[in-house]
Structure 1
Amino acid sequence: MVSFNPQQLARATLLSVALLQPLAQAANITEDSFFYGQSPPVYPSPPMPGSASWATAYAKAVALVSQMTLEEKANITVGYTPLTGCSGETGSVPRLNWPGLCLSDAGNGLRATDFVNGWPSGIHVGAAWNKNLAYQRGLHMGGEFKTKGVHVALGPVVGPLGRVAESGRNWEGISNDPYLCGALAAETVQGIQGAGVTTSVKHYIGNEQETNRNPDGDVASVSSNIDDKTLHELYLWPFADAVHAGAGSIMCSYNRLNNSYSCQNSKLLNGILKTELGFEGFVVSDWGAQHTGLDSALAGLDVVMPDSTYWGVNGGNLTIAVNNGSLASARVTDMATRLVASWYQMGQDIDFPEGGIGMPINYYTPHKPVYARDPSSQSVLLDGALEGHVLVKNVNNALPLKSPKLLSVFGYDAVAPQKFDVGGPTDIIAPWTFGAESLSYTPFISSEPAPQIAINGTIISGGGSGANAPAYISAPIDALKEQAYLDGTSLFWDFYDNDPIIDTSSDACLVFINAFATEGNDRLGLHDDYSDALIQNVAANCSNTIVTIHNAGIRLVEQWIDHPNITAVIFAHLPGQDSGRALVQLLYGVQSFSGKLPYTVAKNESDYTNAGKPSLPEGDYQLFPQEDFSEGVYIDYRDFDAKNITPRYEFGFGLTYTTFSYSDLTIEKLAGASTSYLPPAAETIIEGGIASLWDVIAQVTATITNTGSVDAAEIAQLYVGIPGGPVKQLRGFSKVDIPVGANVTVEFDLQRRDLSEWSVTDQSWVLQSGSYPIYVGASSRDLPLVGSLSI
């Protein structure tokens, strides 16, 4: 329905009452199929808890909202056409001096404005495996949002999780592993909110493909059909981490979850997010993701963007629903309270800049410049770019380079973009374009020679709403020229020929390619013949060929990885504006590589779930596309382990310029730690779930020694084998700098949550009695230390 009328409201209310009947039987659920493909109703929507960490903000919000009329409360729940470059703006209450909120993309830097930085993307953060760096990135990036008067940053992204290898938005997310993704998302939330800006963690939930993400004519959005156990143990895990970190907003996604649209799914919003996880903030729709009026209000949606035909101009249909008895006034009060409380929680009531200041709708409109770039961010930008590079091959110490006499540089990705164009692509030579409405940073892609690549310049991010306009771009060739000047090196380059002439005097040949992805479309493959041919042609005539891939997701390398002349390979991911500068420091050994893969690189597409491809409408469900997550929790390395598939490069793998050894594993169950089967029934719910889930019940330590000749950082990883589940699951990591010859003791805390499984029958996290294998090492398949923990 487009708007409410009394007959429709009455019918919706009767349907809601009828649908409550299965919920009464929930205590007798005995199998997971109850949740698979259907979403049981959960009503009513619980009010904001106002727990200890939110108590002051909650009290202030209650006091302010109590002064609002029903019409004013309804008004602030809907979006308005922005008067600035904000992605969306809520209604305001001028008579109470409540300004309304400016919400803006993106999770990788502030979009639609100038004088901000282009930060490393989510996938790059995941490849760095550095909690403190993730926090610092969030803090500094959040400072830019605040300087521009943005109240809500639309990020970080923890969904998609990477189930579909070709998904167009995997680059915005952090990792295919929920533990790594959740840990770094939590740091990002704390960093951005530490700067006084609310995070809107997205996309909740099951948003694993771009294909059919939105309704198209008579075809509904794809339904991600996920059983209850998989939902909790995999896809919900990083959202729980973000909520535990205090996230002030969650964005519901475009897709359906178990055949109910995410933004009107009462099980997801009322039952899991607001009850089970104790979420304090507000739920906002993705832009245009609302598909009903009363149902979405009852189900727990609090704010609609960018506007709402269903709730009406100024939220007028909500007012009608309350006045005719279809919707409790307390629901609208809670919507407004959650929104206003986030404003108070982030301290935005004191000296916060004017909303969207320095962000005109039209980029060419004369405007007062607002400089959001803080000089103190420079080191964080560079460190972030450095640490997300992953070295996966380095034969005979081909790297680092040592003052070469002649370097030959090849490939379309080496060069800086040649043209910026405001208003859309007007020239096929333009490698990057700004959309007039978004000022997004998006490469120009043509159908030739390969639709999977950005042919006309290096990429520092993917495309769509997750991208922003950088202050500058340090391309590989730019930084190489500066290094050549210092070393007296001669450079030869050819960025455009796919079968270039090779100077046989070259000390090394550097080949630069990319793998592009963007919102709105899934990738067409995990490699492309054009780039593979370029690499093979160079390697055929150069005995020291070094390949760098700027990849917005998994990129296969089987066509050339074993070529004897290919001596080094780098997954450079999406480093942000300091891309070339960071890469050259790594190539020349000024810094050692320290990143590791946040996903598995297979040998074949067929090794991934559904061959890595999105589902398509077919058969009886052409109008209601269905995607059954029948593999359960077995994605990425969990699946490779279960099927005994040998990957090309395993999850967590990455080389440095030195070597490390592991020793002295200790495993200790803490005295007094509760290891009962179930948490106490009356236990307090805190942000993120039952309080005891976050109790540390065991500690693991190990010693790492730098046995090589270069100071470098190592990422130690801890995996646990939970009985009855995957062979092993990541449950701890620590990135430590270790000088040559020194050793460092790493410590891992295992929380109750880390060792538990989700029980469908008990509807709770439970521990099992028995022995839990513990593994510590350098990657998911290099685990020299093995022990066990008895529960």
Structure 2
Amino acid sequence: MFFLSIASAFSCLVLACSGAVIDTRDTVITSDTFFYGQSPPVYPTPPMPGVGPWSAAYNKAKALVAQMTLEEQANITVGYASTSVCSGVTGSVPRLGWDGLCLSDAGNGLRSTELVNGWPSGIHVGASWNKDLAYSRALQMGGEFKTKGVHVALGPVVGPLGRVAVSGRNWEGISNDPYLCGQLAYETVRGIQEAGVITSVKHFIGNEQETNRSPSKNVSAVSANIDDKAIHELYLWPFQDAVHAGAGCVMCSYNRVNNSYSCQNSKMQNGLLKAELGFEGFIVTDWGAQHAGIAGAEAGLDLVMPSSATWGVSGGNLTIAVNNGSLAESRVTDMATRIIAAWYQMGQDEGFPDADLGMSEAYTTPKKVVNGRKAASKPVLLNGALEGHVLVKNVNNALPLKKPQLLSVFGYDAVAPPTMDVPFTGGSSSWIMGYEAYPNIPNGYTSFGIADQVARNGTIISGGGSGANAPAYISAPFDALQNQIYEDDTSLYWDFVSANPAVDSSSDACLVFINAFATEGLDRVGLHGELSSFEYDFSDSLVLNVAANCSNTIVIIHNAGLRLVDQWIDHPNVTALIFAHLPGQDSGRALVQLLYGVQSPSGKLPYTVAKNESDINVYMQSLPEGQYALFPQSDYSEGVYIDYRDFDAKNITPRYEFGFGLTYTTFEYSNLAISLLPNASTSFLPPTSAVLEGGVSSLWDVLVKVSATVTNTGTVAAAEVAQLYVGIPNGPVKQLRGFSKVDIPLGASVTVSFELTRRDLSEWDVVLQSWVLQQATYNIWVGASSRILPLAGTVVIG
């Protein structure tokens, strides 16, 4: 392994990067200070391994690339303008029958086109805690991408991980916990790619805030200064799961990591992703995230979107660099091979639909209308919407509703937006459910957010920006309620506008619908995509005003990320609360089934809800100041202690803990059994084994098996998410290392089983640069949340 002087990172913004190559293989690493705040360059780029499941695709790609000229190889590593509404397209090689790739947003469903579905967002998938459902959603959603001719789906999102509580893109991600995020990302990659579409897992890495995410004028992008242990145990963890699932593409992020831009960071791309994790696919920039020329290629970057000024039109400057000896031709060949191998790996060389039809720009030119929707998607859309709702308060069985005589509905979030705008305007437009047409309404919001982050023009089914999707329709809560009210012969009162509405005190129940919107980037008046705070005066006042006059006030929040509720949660008349997250287009239909007990809630929180902002370790984004005004720094000084890890370490009582969620029944846990497999290797270091997709293969060896019994002791059938936590010695108090969602009939018992791998039980040792087991006693807990763990045991390693 070779390292290049870190000082050169600031001089590599042009075509070539000069400077002596220093062999530091004998460097002694003594602590995380070797990495923190600086990113040691790692060269050369490991060539595509082309082994295991990728061997056939690799051999085909190698044969096709061998027929290409250098100019043709370079041509497919850059993006081009197109007549389609793909987010980006690559160059092509027509003489060899290779037409290039169409890459399109987003991880929550295809946007910028018609006749596709609006799927539950990443945070909603996380709240479902359902691996099978994550796979089914991905398979059906991936089928829509393929039908429309999209080769690369720009998702799933596993970064941001949710370090910054107010980050504008947390809703696109799955969970603040790397294990939960990684497990569901694994199923998402598997499902989309089994549909024949390449996943582009993003954003690699440290993209935890929107503020200063990109350079502007003389100010560099923020540097995420992360120590090596935190990178491995938190931020790299879900990417490792995605690579293990066979991800064909990874997207590098806008920000710097340890003061080197992500898309030219050789430690991250060459060292971690391609060498340590054995990544077989290609690395693509986020749109406009290239800030280097040949240095980026040498650092492991394979494809630039949506175009490249430094690599040049048709990648011509890459060709020049090879011819003048400043870039190895083998690197360009490897770039092209990785891109085309992913195309072969997903079977896109045979019968793949034409993106110029499915994604054509269209209301202005004649086109063939391509319907991406399939009947098989319907139950998956509905179940996906259902299972991401989390019931966290339900006093005296306020829910489910039982044919109320008078039902009152309040709040701007209860109804559909006043328009369904044209679902795309071409190019890279951010279409967000029609709200963009109403930027001038008093107290309204633009498509990129306002100060109080309240979307007052109607219910939200996703957040904003490139992660938003294009629903075929929106089932708003009020629309779905009216169907139920007809069946029950209920009288209905509503007020969607007033902050202090008139309330009929004879109402059997009052439903209050509020939301918390978030988005990437900046809005039109310079406000940041992050939530400005957790103080939502308009929404909180609405809840309190209704509760003052209604003894059975039930609150539903469509929240794009964390939302604090302590302004009103202890009010005696607030009897129930549902975090409804971002359910996709079947939002209202799913909610009404839950409100009326057709289905029992089964979601659990994929994050911790604090009582106060001051309880959150990393609440606000970092802003440049003083000596860092031109080179803003965000020091991840908390290490691995985010979310529940930090609450546990400081013994802070949350309002609602990670993993918490109620149903309409009760469960009892019993019969914990823990066994160390007799032939399991518990050596200090992982046994020597090949590096396959996801890293050293022995990391995935199962060492311990755990089982427990869960019994439904309540009154209705429901699903429970049994959770397993491990206390790794010298680490956080507990870490999620297993979960199982099971349907349990009334009075029945189900056995849940968990397998703990070497990776699950290891910590990252910075000095040894390896995952290591502790020769010690490990605590193991099983229960209903990170703080409700009735079963406890131990296992001795070593």
Shorter-chain TM-score: what band?
over 0.9
Per the TM alignment, residue 364 of structure 1 is displaced from its structure 2 partner at its CA by: 4.5
Q: Does residue 168 in structure 1 map to residue 168 in structure 2?
A: yes
- 1 CA distance for matches of 2:645 and 2:789? 15
For residues 287-686 of structure 1, the aligned pairs below 5 Å read: 287-422=287-422, 437-441=429-433, 443-444=435-436, 448=443, 451-520=452-521, 521-610=529-618, 612-681=619-688, 683-686=689-692
Question: Secondary structure at 1:663's aligned position in 2?
Answer: strand
When structure 1 is superposed on structure 2, of 188-197 and 524-533 the one drifting more is 524-533
For residues 760-771 of structure 1, the aligned pairs below 5 Å read: 760-771=766-777
Per the TM alignment, residue 435 of structure 1 is displaced from its structure 2 partner at its CA by: 9.2
Amino acid of the structure 2 residue aligned with 1:78: V
- 2 CA distance for matches of 1:8 and 1:375? 51
- 2 CA distance for matches of 1:657 and 1:435? 46
For residues 253-264 of structure 1, the aligned pairs below 5 Å read: 253-264=253-264
- 2 CA distance for matches of 1:83 and 1:710? 54
Instruction: Name the residue aligned to 1:430.
Output: none
Question: Secondary structure at 1:747's aligned position in 2?
Answer: strand
- 1 CA distance for matches of 2:432 and 2:411? 25
When structure 1 is superposed on structure 2, of 753-762 and 437-446 the one drifting more is 437-446
- 2 CA distance for matches of 1:636 and 1:264? 30
- Output one character per residue of 1:386-433: Cα deviation in whole Å (capped at 9) or x when no partner: 000000000000000011111000000001111233499xxxxxxxx9
Question: Secondary structure at 1:160's aligned position in 2?
Answer: coil
Per the TM alignment, residue 356 of structure 1 is displaced from its structure 2 partner at its CA by: 4.3
Contact 2:113–2:423 under 8 Å retained in 1: no
Q: Does residue 146 in structure 1 map to residue 146 in structure 2?
A: yes
Pair 1:436–1:101, CA change in 2 (3 A): closer
Q: Output the aligned Cα RMSD.
A: 1.6
Amino acid of the structure 2 residue aligned with 1:437: S
When structure 1 is superposed on structure 2, of 358-367 and 238-247 the one drifting more is 358-367
- 1 CA distance for matches of 2:407 and 2:14? 74
Pair 1:363–1:776, CA change in 2 (3 A): farther
Contact 1:423–1:434 under 8 Å retained in 2: no
Q: Does residue 742 in structure 1 map to residue 748 in structure 2?
A: yes
- 1 CA distance for matches of 2:453 and 2:339? 40
- 1 CA distance for matches of 2:782 and 2:12? 59
Amino acid of the structure 1 residue aligned with 2:455: A
Contact 1:422–1:435 under 8 Å retained in 2: no
Contact 1:460–1:574 under 8 Å retained in 2: yes
Instruction: Name the residue aligned to 2:209.
Output: 209
Instruction: Name the residue aligned to 1:695.
Output: 701
Per the TM alignment, residue 24 of structure 1 is displaced from its structure 2 partner at its CA by: 2.9
- Output one character per residue of 1:126-149: Cα deviation in whole Å (capped at 9) or x when no partner: 000000000000000000000000
- 2 CA distance for matches of 1:355 and 1:212? 34
Instruction: Name the residue aligned to 1:429.
Output: none
| TM-score w.r.t. length of structure 1 | 0.96
- Output one character per residue of 1:208-258: Cα deviation in whole Å (capped at 9) or x when no partner: 000000101000000000000110000000000000000000000000000
- Gaps of at least 5 residues in structure 2 are 1-10, 445-450, 522-528
Per the TM alignment, residue 527 of structure 1 is displaced from its structure 2 partner at its CA by: 3.5
Per the TM alignment, residue 536 of structure 1 is displaced from its structure 2 partner at its CA by: 0.2
Instruction: Name the residue aligned to 1:717.
Output: 723
- 2 CA distance for matches of 1:734 and 1:399? 25
For residues 13-32 of structure 1, the aligned pairs below 5 Å read: 13-15=17-19, 17-18=20-21, 20-21=22-23, 23-26=24-27, 28-32=28-32
Pair 1:204–1:172, CA change in 2 (3 A): same
- 1 CA distance for matches of 2:183 and 2:687? 26
- Output one character per residue of 1:239-290: Cα deviation in whole Å (capped at 9) or x when no partner: 0000000000000000000000000000000000000000000000000000
Instruction: Name the residue aligned to 1:71.
Output: 71
Per the TM alignment, residue 757 of structure 1 is displaced from its structure 2 partner at its CA by: 0.4
Amino acid of the structure 2 residue aligned with 1:594: S
Per the TM alignment, residue 124 of structure 1 is displaced from its structure 2 partner at its CA by: 0.1
For residues 774-785 of structure 1, the aligned pairs below 5 Å read: 774-785=780-791
Per the TM alignment, residue 608 of structure 1 is displaced from its structure 2 partner at its CA by: 1.1
Contact 1:423–1:436 under 8 Å retained in 2: no
Per the TM alignment, residue 561 of structure 1 is displaced from its structure 2 partner at its CA by: 0.2
Contact 2:725–2:780 under 8 Å retained in 1: yes
Amino acid of the structure 1 residue aligned with 2:479: D
Per the TM alignment, residue 655 of structure 1 is displaced from its structure 2 partner at its CA by: 0.2
Contact 1:443–1:463 under 8 Å retained in 2: no
Contact 1:442–1:467 under 8 Å retained in 2: no
Contact 1:150–1:356 under 8 Å retained in 2: no
Question: Secondary structure at 1:108's aligned position in 2?
Answer: coil
- Output one character per residue of 1:680-738: Cα deviation in whole Å (capped at 9) or x when no partner: 34x20010000000000100000000000100000000000000000000000000000
Contact 2:85–2:426 under 8 Å retained in 1: no
Per the TM alignment, residue 52 of structure 1 is displaced from its structure 2 partner at its CA by: 1.0
Per the TM alignment, residue 437 of structure 1 is displaced from its structure 2 partner at its CA by: 3.1
- Output one character per residue of 1:90-129: Cα deviation in whole Å (capped at 9) or x when no partner: 0000000001000000000001100000000000000000
Instruction: Name the residue aligned to 1:121.
Output: 121
Question: Secondary structure at 1:379's aligned position in 2?
Answer: helix
- Output one character per residue of 1:599-635: Cα deviation in whole Å (capped at 9) or x when no partner: 000001111123x110000110100000000000000
- 1 CA distance for matches of 2:646 and 2:665? 31
Contact 1:422–1:436 under 8 Å retained in 2: no
Amino acid of the structure 2 residue aligned with 1:714: E
Q: Does residue 790 in structure 1 map to residue 785 in structure 2?
A: no
Contact 1:212–1:221 under 8 Å retained in 2: yes
Question: Secondary structure at 2:357's aligned position in 1?
Answer: coil
Instruction: Name the residue aligned to 1:51.
Output: 51
- 2 CA distance for matches of 1:343 and 1:360? 21
- 1 CA distance for matches of 2:137 and 2:630? 42
Per the TM alignment, residue 495 of structure 1 is displaced from its structure 2 partner at its CA by: 0.2
Instruction: Name the residue aligned to 2:3.
Output: none
Per the TM alignment, residue 83 of structure 1 is displaced from its structure 2 partner at its CA by: 1.8
For residues 267-278 of structure 1, the aligned pairs below 5 Å read: 267-278=267-278
Amino acid of the structure 2 residue aligned with 1:281: G
- 2 CA distance for matches of 1:364 and 1:570? 43
- Output one character per residue of 1:505-554: Cα deviation in whole Å (capped at 9) or x when no partner: 21100000000000111111124011000000000000000000000000
Amino acid of the structure 2 residue aligned with 1:495: F
| TM-score w.r.t. length of structure 2 | 0.95
Per the TM alignment, residue 442 of structure 1 is displaced from its structure 2 partner at its CA by: 6.2
Per the TM alignment, residue 308 of structure 1 is displaced from its structure 2 partner at its CA by: 0.2
- Output one character per residue of 1:324-349: Cα deviation in whole Å (capped at 9) or x when no partner: 01111000000000000000000000
Contact 1:10–1:326 under 8 Å retained in 2: no
Instruction: Name the residue aligned to 1:428.
Output: none
Contact 1:362–1:436 under 8 Å retained in 2: no
Per the TM alignment, residue 438 of structure 1 is displaced from its structure 2 partner at its CA by: 4.4
- 2 CA distance for matches of 1:499 and 1:14? 66
- 2 CA distance for matches of 1:406 and 1:364? 49
- 2 CA distance for matches of 1:654 and 1:175? 15
Pair 1:609–1:139, CA change in 2 (3 A): same
Instruction: Name the residue aligned to 2:33.
Output: 33
- 1 CA distance for matches of 2:210 and 2:362? 28
Pair 1:10–1:85, CA change in 2 (3 A): closer
